[in-house]
Chains A and B, each alone.
Chain A
Amino acid sequence: MNSAMSYLTQASNIVFKRTKYIILTVLFFVVFLTLYAFILPATYTGGRIGLVSLRLITPNLALFAFLFSALLAPAMSFAVYAFRKKQTAQNSSSAAGGFVGSILPPLLCCSPFLPSLAALASGTIPFAFGVSGFVQGFMATYETEIFVAIVAVLIYSLWQNAKQVVLAERGVCAQV
């Protein structure tokens, strides 16, 4: 637990001492919050995404939209930082390819889509692709539990990316 917090604190100190990463994080947060505020109420709108979503968003969904965005925004900034650090290391030395190793945060590509996929799977996708009633019913019945599980995955993703930032800064191989 201490080392997990340590990675997060260290990564925050490394990344957020640069103003451009603070701006990037705020930008990610605003984009994701807007996205989830529109997507999450799709379960109430029969898959419609638009201004009607904002009319039907509940405090529960607003909380999850906030949590998803608040976890994803720094995770994405950490990912970008670690990736750029890797690029710099690779460019500065031919040995750096093995030196920094496979530092690209493993969840960079997928983590932003997890909450979206879950929301869409219970909202829009069934209407668009005729997903079976059983899957729809399961997703609707356990929606809160699924969202909580996604929050857990995002926390893990944030921690992983923070670890990558710290390792990249130290210039050691990433432990994926």
Chain B
Amino acid sequence: MKKSTKIIIGIAVVAFIGWVALSSSGTSQKPVAGAGAVSVVTQNALAPNAVFTTIDGKQTALSAFKGKKVMLWLVATWCSSCSEGARVLSQNEKALGNLTIITLKTYGNAGYPGPSIKTFAEQSAPKMLLAKNWLWGNASQNMARTYNPRNYPDIYFLIDKKGIVREVSDAPAATIGSIIKFANE
């Protein structure tokens, strides 16, 4: 076999291995307790209570939403999958029914500076700033430690009416199907 053919085959093999490895790595992430984690939020367990601040400055507790289906979403405002996620969620407003979406800038913005959560909302999903069932705000340090100890730039929790975490995932633009399913089941 000629060397050039071997090189082409080699590149193809490396590309294929990379493809397989990366495809398998793209599964949804599960939060794991980090060094400073107070607790770990797990699927099918009660969602711990935590406090956040809305963009109009109100301190709000997550427990106040008991009895409602909630999507608690912690984002970094520089994160592309977050802005795309907000856009796709906004596009699917009707399909999401009465799902309460709480979108919070994660504490420390996942390690890199970025715009405020209000600017993020204005750029990604402006009409949802006024939507009744969509809250925007900032996670407290305690909430971020509890829900996002690994400081992911994009992580969400689907919490049912009883306050049980039904799903932990990321990138709503890619997982919109399961969010709509949760909202309507």
Q: Which of A43, A46, A56, A83 contacts B26 (CB 8 A)?
A: A46
Contacts A35-B15, A84-B2: A133 and B76 contacting too (C-beta < 8 A)?
A: yes
Question: Main SS of the interface on chain A?
Answer: helix
Q: Which of B4, B153, B173 contacts A133 (CB 8 A)?
A: B153
Contacts A35-B15, A84-B2, A124-B25: A137 and B174 contacting too (C-beta < 8 A)?
A: no
A-B CB pair tally, cutoff 8 Å: 105
Please determine whether B79 and A140 come into contact, CB atoms closer than 8 angstroms.
yes
CA distance in complex: A45, B154 (Å): 10
Size band of the A side of the interface? 20 to 34
Q: Which of B2, B11, B76, B80 contacts A143 (CB 8 A)?
A: B80
Size band of the B side of the interface? 35 or more
Q: Which of A45, A50, A80, A127 contacts B173 (CB 8 A)?
A: A45
CA distance in complex: A14, B154 (Å): 50
* 5 nearest CB pairs, A to B: A137-B112, A133-B111, A46-B171, A48-B26, A128-B25
- Give 10 A-B pairs besides A80-B4, A84-B2 with Cβ atoms closer than 8 angstroms: A44-B81, A44-B171, A48-B174, A56-B174, A84-B4, A133-B151, A134-B111, A137-B111, A137-B114, A140-B79
